[in-house]
Chains A and B, each alone.
Chain A
Amino acid sequence: MRLTEKTEVLKERKDSVVTKSKGKRQTVACGMDSTAGTVSQRACVYCGARVVLNPITDAYHIVHGPVGCASYTWDIRGSLSSGSEIYRNSFSTDLREQDIIFGGEKKLAGAIDEIAQAYKPSVIFVYSTCVVGVIGDDIDSVCKDAQRKLNLRVIPVRSTGFAGNKSSGYRAACDAILELIGDAAPVQNRQGINFLGDFNLAAEQWIVRDYFKQIGVKMQTAITGDSTSEGLRCAIKASFNIVQCAGSMHHLARKMEEKYNIPYISVSFYGVEDTARSLRAIAIKTGNDKVIRKSEELIEKKSSETNKRLDFFREHLAGKKAAIYVGGGFKAISLMKQFADIGITAVIVGTQTGLEKEYEILHEIADNGTIILDDSNPFELEGFIREKQADILVGGVKERPLAYKLGVAFLDHNHERKHPLAGFEGALNFAQEAYNTINSPVWRLIRKDWRDT
């Protein structure tokens, strides 16, 4: 990796790229549609909706559209299930030329019938895609008719690909969950909490659930990691919601507060600091002294155990520089803290769909000179990684080969990961992975010429 000229961002992108300047009021423009031709790392509305709903284990996901949309999203994520495996299938109406000309409603109705006949589905989600939005198939009424006729839950997901960005898809998914929960009256004697915005990647939800058990808090429903349609309907029984991935779940949390009078607090279980802070906040919110005491005991025990083991990594990673580019804002915030905890400074931090509030926090905790960016692209990442001489990039599947081609270490914070990064266990895995990639001999070797060896 050679240092070259200063990175010149495209003029349409100027407001979304900020170099932190201490004491200065700065805002990162976010939440907008992607600029054409920038090679945004974001996907579409449908993708946003599908990632949120997919972990519901007993749901049938029908993608109403051409086959590609279903093909590219078939079982590519690592959400684990303790029960049904239905969610690991991808059903598509596989629209062809003729369907585009004559409309796809009949085919969709037929598809729902076929699933209803062959299986005993508890819920079917029907996703609309770009082309369905253009030809004007009325999926709402097809779903409504099927629901009545077949006496099962058939829920439309308004995820026409072009109608907004990935965040609009999150919202569409939240609306679908709300529709599934239905218009139940608020429950008396509520207990337990719902965990919103965790997708049980590599058992992360189960790790957190175990902490709750240890401090005496019942997890009512996780939304949506390892959830079921019946479980989701019971979410109204919870006394409050905790929200981790706010980007995807903020809408649902607000609506649940509005409709069912369930309050919410924000949490994050990435990193020792945020895990401890979240456990503490939950315990306090329960107002139960025993829970508070137990949570302090757990935090004390786990933090000191974890910190002891983290010391090794701190010693070997101190002074390194990180670039962060991930999906949601909460994750970016936690990652900054988590890197700081093991002696690594974030020199670049950005997200695909971070919220204004989250960017404010990122700006606040960032060091002077840190590049903060929204909806970035390979060009900017490449430029700033060079400019800032980052040692490691953390991101998803598409970012990995870029880091490697630049000769930079990489930490996978993607949906396919096979080891948990959440909780105290996850904090150790995180540090271990950072250590493994940063301290690999390959980086030394690639910088040497064959004449040097």
Chain B
Amino acid sequence: MPQRNFINLNVNPCNMCMPMGASGVFRGIEKCMIVMHGSQGCSTYIRRHMATHYNEPIDIASSSLNEKGTVMGGSANLKQALRNVLKVYKPKVIGISATCLAETIGENIEQTVKEFLVEEKISAVDCIVVSTPGYGGSQYTGHYLTAKKVIEHFVLKSGQSKRINIIVGSMSPGDIRHIKEILDEFKLKYIVFPDISETLDGGYRAEYARIPLGGTKISDLKEMGKAGATLEIGKFPDEEISPGQYLKSMFGVPLYRLPLPIGLKNTDLLIKALSEVTCRGIPRKVESDRERYLDAMIDSHKYNSQAKIAVFGDPELVYAVTTLCLENGMSPCMAASGPANKRITPEIEKLSREYKKNLVVLEDTDYQKIAEVVRTANANLLVGPSDGAFMTEKYGIPLVRVGFPVHDRIGMQRKVYVGYVGSMNLMDEITNTLLASKQANYRESMIRKYYSC
């Protein structure tokens, strides 16, 4: 099956661009300010997208390149942007995401930044440049590439420490907080990166912090080469953009590449890895969370057997949610990744053989194609970002919102969908949505079917 209906067109994109991924990572570093090197719109669009999802102020500066800067070179604009950002935000780190424009006019941005630091005699601020042209990939690859660049920048030398690295993919602040709870159960010392658990879901305080509090500490980033192991959440990024792979090849840090811990087996993999690296048994709390999830799976298995679910979003989310659905006896009819990714298709096909279910697998697809498959397969539930809500409006199929972005509901930043606890939350939401549609329609459908026929 073709991945999209048109050769030259993407109709209603199911992915975003690399600077979005970069922004999520930079926001997960302590005292870090973000600068988009390019035209004014990129920063504003990303701010708007993140603001509605996280309900938090998202300050991202731009070098505001104009015609002159594009023709004559943008270094003056970039330097001015850095100067103003330093003055107003007083960051310790500046993450610079080079957008389409800056990348295409072919400048030496690293050089400009070096010059700037010398000219202004600045040594206490780390500036990290990452090449993220919109045409070079998606928010998904932008995330891992930026995380790798940050680690390359900070991690200097090896050594030994008892901590382990947890490199997270696109997860909610609530998810990350829950992962930390699990790590604490293992009595583990750890470094979580990028850590948006506070920066994108902060509490109300009388003092307003222009750069939100929290984020992975710079001192911790520098230590990541010494860690006992890296657990990287991300099954599908290419090795050359995997931060964990970099730590492994440069510093010999053992690497566990793990799927997003949603669903039983995917969470088991995380827990097993933690048990292995800590040489500890499974903590009782984790064990009981698992038992409770198993109990919940039994409780809802029959309802779930009627689910024909269409899953869409980024590759990690799609794979993990599809796994959860299959484990619960649901029939996913489609697993569709908006971002291009060659690795996901065989992995989902493996799952579909294991559970003897036929489903359409798409990658590098768009919402037009997704909607078409949803219709042909007669899906009765959608799981993915809020962009899929147009199918609810058009076809009346309910949507369980997961992933990024969700523009039309509140509280996505604190939802927990990872681990046994999160999987249970997600499964309950799916089951309850199915139950609600059944209850809303069954009297009428019974009359139609058996009485007025």
A interface list, Cβ under 8 A from B: 1-2, 10, 12, 33-47, 62, 65-76, 88-97, 99-100, 107-108, 110-111, 113-115, 118, 129-131, 133-135, 161-166, 378-379, 382, 397-398, 400-402, 404-407, 446-447
Contacts and interface: CB of A to CB of B under 8 A. Distances in A.
Contact of B70 (A45, A73, A114, A134): A134
Contacts of B281: none
A37 B390 contact: no
The residue in A40, A43, A68, A133 that gathers the most chain B C-beta atoms within 10 A of its C-beta is A68
Given A67-B16, A69-B134, A134 B104 contact: yes
Contacts of A382: 208, 210
Contacts of A43: 40-41, 44-45
Nearest to B43: A39
B135 interface: yes
Given A40-B44, A40-B64, A162-B66, A130 B100 contact: yes
Most chain A C-beta atoms within 10 Å of own C-beta, residue among B10, B47, B54, B101? B10
A134 B101 CA distance: 7
Contacts of A91: 9-11
Contacts of B46: 72
B81 A37 contact: yes
A330 B59 CA distance: 27
Nearest to A131: B100
B135 A99 contact: yes
Contacts of B88: 10, 37-39, 379
Given A38-B61, A71-B16, A405-B56, A398 B48 contact: yes
Interface string B29-42: 00000010011111
Contacts of B54: 401
Contact of B44 (A44, A96, A129, A379): A44
Nearest to B207: A2
A89 B12 contact: yes
Contacts of B207: 2
A76 to B, nearest CB: 7
Given A39-B60, A162-B69, A401-B57, A100 B104 contact: yes
14 contacts: A37-B61, A37-B62, A37-B82, A37-B85, A47-B41, A67-B13, A71-B15, A92-B11, A94-B13, A129-B100, A130-B101, A162-B40, A164-B67, A447-B206
A46 B407 CA distance: 22
A68 B16 contact: yes
B69 to A, nearest CB: 7
A163 B67 contact: yes
Contacts of B390: 75, 88
A37 B41 contact: no
A407 B135 CA distance: 40
Contacts of A71: 13, 15-17
B206 A2 contact: yes
B159 interface: no
Interface of B: 5-13, 15-17, 19-20, 35, 38-49, 51-52, 54-67, 69-70, 77-78, 80-85, 87-89, 99-101, 104-105, 133-136, 138, 202, 204, 206-208, 210, 368, 387, 390, 407
Contacts of B49: 72
B111 to A, nearest CB: 18
B431 to A, nearest CB: 29
Contact of B134 (A68, A163, A164): A68
Contacts of B82: 37
Contacts of A94: 9-10, 13
A398 B40 CA distance: 15
A311 B138 CA distance: 53
Given A100-B133, A165-B40, 14 more contacts: A10-B87, A12-B84, A33-B66, A36-B80, A43-B41, A43-B45, A66-B17, A66-B133, A68-B45, A107-B8, A118-B6, A162-B40, A163-B67, A404-B55
Contacts of A406: 208
Contact of A37 (B69, B84, B100, B407): B84
Contact of B81 (A36, A74, A129, A401): A36
A231 to B, nearest CB: 25
Contacts of A107: 8
Contacts of A12: 80, 84
A107 B6 CA distance: 11
B376 to A, nearest CB: 17
A402 to B, nearest CB: 5
B84 A38 contact: yes
Given A37-B35, A37-B83, A135-B104, A162 B67 contact: yes
Given A66-B100, A68-B20, A446-B204, A35 B11 contact: no
A95 to B, nearest CB: 5
Contacts of B6: 111, 114, 118
Given A43-B41, A69-B134, A131-B101, A36 B204 contact: no
Contacts of A38: 61, 64, 84, 88
Contact of B135 (A36, A45, A66, A165): A66
A144 to B, nearest CB: 18
8 A-B pairs with least C-beta separation: A44-B41, A68-B17, A37-B84, A66-B134, A37-B81, A110-B8, A72-B45, A36-B81
B84 A36 contact: yes
Given A37-B84, A39-B60, A66-B134, A1 B208 contact: yes
Contact of B105 (A37, A70, A134): A134
Contact of B77 (A36, A40, A90, A164): A36
Given A68-B16, A70-B10, A382-B208, A397 B136 contact: no
B39 A74 contact: no
A7 B80 CA distance: 20
Given A39-B61, A68-B20, A131-B135, A34 B40 contact: yes
A452 to B, nearest CB: 13
A392 to B, nearest CB: 17
Contacts of B9: 62, 91-94, 111, 114-115
A341 B41 CA distance: 35
Contacts of A134: 70, 100-101, 104-105
A390 to B, nearest CB: 14
A441 to B, nearest CB: 14
A111 B8 contact: yes
A127 to B, nearest CB: 12
Contacts of B65: 162
Contacts of B387: 74
Contact of B64 (A36, A67, A400): A36
Contacts of A36: 61-64, 77-78, 80-81, 84
A75 B138 CA distance: 20
A107 B9 CA distance: 8
A131 B104 contact: yes
A405 B104 contact: no
Contacts of A401: 51, 54-58
Contacts of B138: 67
Contacts of A447: 206
A136 B361 CA distance: 37
Contacts of A114: 6-9
Most B Cβ at <10 Å: residue of A99, A129, A130, A402: A130
Given A89-B11, A90-B12, A39 B59 contact: yes
